Amino acid sequence: MLRTDCTRKLEQYLTEEGVAFRELTHTTAYTAQRLAEAEHIPGKAVAKVVVAQGDRGPCILVLPAIYRVDLSRAAGALGMKQLQLAQEREFRELFPDCEVGAMPPFGNLYDMPVYVDQSLAEDPEITFAAGSHELTLTVAYADFARLVRPVVADFARRF
């Protein structure tokens, strides 16, 4: 298991904020859906982090692993004229302490706004990559929302 600086930062932050969390390790998973399979949990309970570039710079879109972002719907729901997916090469600069593609949904730790699809906001807890393709954290959605203060919108569609 690879513990990254991101993992340590998240665990310290959650502990300081009094948030209970579960940490799980699994086989290497490069997508949120594979992560769900590796952890034997429903894809709806796994938070997929999508980084986008919008009118106001980079932002994080968080949705269930079994959904995809509808960019035109997202732009409208978020009040943006344009919104496009960030390029993978940008991830290293935006999330220097994470393995590329294993970013957590805590945009507040990276000075980025976070938008959560309403379908994920309905779940009692969420599981997400914690800076590594082999480690996840699970927290109560209410704690996540309290710390991150995401904007909840309707921008994802089921595959």
- Domain-by-domain residue ranges, the chain? 5-158
pLDDT tens-digit readout, 32-73 = 777 777 777 777 778 999 999 999 899 999 999 889 999 999
pLDDT of 146 = 97
The predicted structure's pLDDT at residue 45: 78
Q: How far apart are CA 100 and CA 68, in angstroms?
A: 19
pTM confidence score: 0.91
Which residues of the chain, if any, have pLDDT below 70? 1-3
Residue 87's pLDDT is what?
A: 87
Run of H or E residues at 89: helix 88-94
Contact criterion met (CB below 8 Å) for 47 and 64: yes
CATH of 5-158, one of 3.50.50.60, 3.40.50.2300, 3.90.960.10, 2.60.40.10: 3.90.960.10
Q: Which amino acid is at 116?
A: V
Q: Name the residue type at position 80.
A: M
